[in-house]
């Protein structure tokens, strides 16, 4: 049986990525690069037509099916070198006439770096981009659905000013859209290289390959077969910035989902209870306390973001290579160690983020709504929490209104130092407490209260109406998200 485990913990294994990063599939993209190089040598007449004809579809398929396990065995027992191990196996498959042409005029990292770029590009286009777009449609739906549902906003863990649930969803949606757009753009900038051991195309020039290629270089010809563009200049390895930029965008996407997880986890706290995860039939919250419903998925969203933040440090630490190449960062940057798959900073970040997306989009049945659309918003809890402090949550507009109305001195001090203690001690509304403080000087009180428009005073009596542009912003961000999806050719339905 093939070993198709992905990097990272076996608990988190997005099946969509197995064709790309399943362990025994790793060398498929290596084979693609080697095949493209041989075909290009045939195109320009270096390999005679009678010989390149031996590279049949059947032979190519066998090369594509060389497994990582096979390469590991030859590397461990014979070559102590991964690409030379692959080349040895390839020569047992290739017809006699073609054996001399494999790995010409390539160096290992022409193949490995280009193959890695191919993997990331395909993972993004076929998995991350599509799932990210689906998530955006769902989040836009939630922002629109709850655009007018009032909720108490929170800063520093404390009740702040009223917002709406849709506004909260829109803040997450905006970050997801921006991060995915960055990743889309960065994925198009992932590059390949076919430039030799020091990046100067020495063998291509010295063996006359360059002269045969005319205006389109050998490198460009090979990479065009793979759908990649060449780096403007490289050493033995690709310049690290394009992949760094892509993985930075993936980190942004993952942490935006992590932000959603943190917010939702706290909103699910027993004493808050405004949000609840979908709880599947037979699901258990605690082995000892059957009354509990733990926010396991919300916690996992944040946890995966933490994992990606830690892995990105490895990316940052492998940005420098000595001269044209060294192996200091090789063990850090490799997809897998020699023995068994484990966390590595390159594909693991995409694996973690795809796991987040899988959870958000998980459906009980194909026709069921996804997890993100089944999150329950408890309207009664939203209302209860909004009313918990009465009109004290309107301290901001009160101090602004009194100050603008001509209050001598500091309006903030009046509300904070005098009215708030009075309101708490006597259990009266904050507005009433402000009026009682003002009444200590009837002349000032009459002047200030007389300068406050009636509609403004009415607003101070209704905290639930003090939501500013929350609803409008929710719909605006949702509309912008749907415009993006239209450009992507998606309906935006969840």
Catalytic residues: 156, 286
Q: Are 385 and 421 in contact (CB under 8 A)?
A: no
Q: 108: closest CA among 70, 69, 67, 80?
A: 80
- Rounded distance between C-alpha atoms, residue 299 and residue 322, angstroms: 41
- Helix/strand/coil for 229: strand
- Rounded distance between C-alpha atoms, residue 130 and residue 111, angstroms: 28
- Rounded distance between C-alpha atoms, residue 52 and residue 69, angstroms: 28
3-state secondary structure 145-169: HCCCCEEEEEECCEEEEEEEHHHHH
Would strands 191-192 and 229-230 be described as parallel, antiparallel, or unpaired?
A: parallel
- Rounded distance between C-alpha atoms, residue 281 and residue 336, angstroms: 37
DSSP state of 5: P
Q: Which residues contact 367 (CB under 8 A, 6 or more apart)?
A: none
Residue given tokens 């428009």 in the structure block: 453
- Helix/strand/coil for 433: helix
For 78, the token pair is 């014979």
- Other beta carbons within 10 angstroms of residue 225's beta carbon come to 15
Q: Are 240 and 186 in contact (CB under 8 A)?
A: no
- Rounded distance between C-alpha atoms, residue 494 and residue 372, angstroms: 9
Q: Are 198 and 186 in contact (CB under 8 A)?
A: no
Taking CA atoms, 284 is separated from 166, 292, 295, 356, in Å, by 29, 8, 11, 20
- Rounded distance between C-alpha atoms, residue 205 and residue 228, angstroms: 22
Burial per residue of 41-72, b for 16 or more beta-carbon CB atoms within 10 angstroms, e otherwise: bbbbebbeeebbeebeeebbebbbebbbebbb
């Amino acid at each position: 049986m093939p070993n198709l485990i992905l990097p990272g913990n076996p608990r988190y294994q997005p099946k969509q990525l197995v064709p790309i990063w399943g362990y025994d599939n790793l060398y498929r993209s290596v084979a693609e690069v080697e095949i493209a190089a041989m075909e290009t040598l045939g195109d320009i007449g270096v390999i005679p037509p009678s010989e390149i004809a031996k590279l049949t579809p059947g032979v190519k398929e066998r090369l594509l099916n060389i497994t990582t396990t096979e390469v590991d065995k030859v590397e461990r027992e014979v070559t102590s070198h991964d690409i030379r191990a692959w080349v040895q196996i390839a020569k047992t498959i290739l017809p006699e006439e073609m054996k001399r042409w494999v790995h010409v005029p390539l160096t290992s990292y022409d193949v490995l770096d280009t193959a890695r770029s191919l993997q990331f590009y395909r993972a993004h286009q076929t998995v991350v981009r599509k799932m990210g777009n689906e998530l955006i449609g769902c989040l836009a739906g939630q922002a629109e659905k709850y655009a007018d549902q009032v909720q108490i906003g929170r800063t520093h863990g404390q009740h702040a000013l009223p917002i709406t649930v849709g506004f909260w969803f829109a803040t997450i949606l905006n970050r997801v859209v921006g991060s995915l757009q960055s990743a889309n753009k960065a994925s198009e900038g992932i590059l390949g290289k076919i430039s030799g051991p020091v990046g100067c195309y020495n063998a291509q020039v010295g063996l006359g390959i360059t002269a045969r290629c005319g205006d389109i270089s050998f490198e460009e010809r090979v990479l065009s077969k793979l759908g990649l563009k060449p780096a403007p200049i490289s050493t033995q390895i690709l310049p690290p910035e394009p992949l760094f930029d892509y993985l930075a965008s993936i980190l942004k996407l993952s942490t935006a989902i992590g932000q959603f997880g943190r917010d939702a986890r706290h909103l699910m706290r027993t004493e808050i209870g405004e949000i609840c995860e979908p709880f599947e039939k037979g699901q258990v919250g605690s082995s000892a306390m059957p009354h509990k419903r733990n926010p396991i998925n919300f916690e996992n969203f944040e946890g995966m973001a933490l994992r990606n933040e830690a892995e990105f440090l490895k990316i940052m630490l492998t940005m420098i290579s000595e001269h044209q190449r060294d192996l200091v960062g090789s063990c850090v940057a490799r997809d897998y160690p020699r023995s068994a798959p484990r966390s590595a900073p390159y594909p693991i970040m995409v694996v973690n983020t795809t796991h987040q997306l899988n959870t958000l989009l998980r459906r009980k049945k194909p026709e069921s709504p996804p997890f993100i659309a089944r999150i329950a918003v408890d309207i009664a809890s939203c209302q209860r929490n909004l009313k918990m402090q009465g009109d004290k949550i309107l301290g901001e507009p009160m101090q602004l209104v009194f100050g603008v109305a001509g209050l001598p001195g500091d309006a903030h001090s009046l509300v904070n130092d005098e009215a708030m203690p009075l309101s708490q001690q006597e259990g009266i509304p904050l507005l009433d407490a402000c009026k009682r403080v003002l009444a200590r000087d009837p002349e000032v009180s009459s002047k200030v209260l007389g300068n406050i428009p009636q509609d403004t005073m009415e607003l101070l009596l209704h905290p639930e109406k003090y939501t500013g542009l929350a609803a409008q912003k929710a719909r605006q961000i949702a509309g912008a998200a749907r415009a993006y999806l239209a450009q992507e050719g998606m309906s935006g339905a969840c």
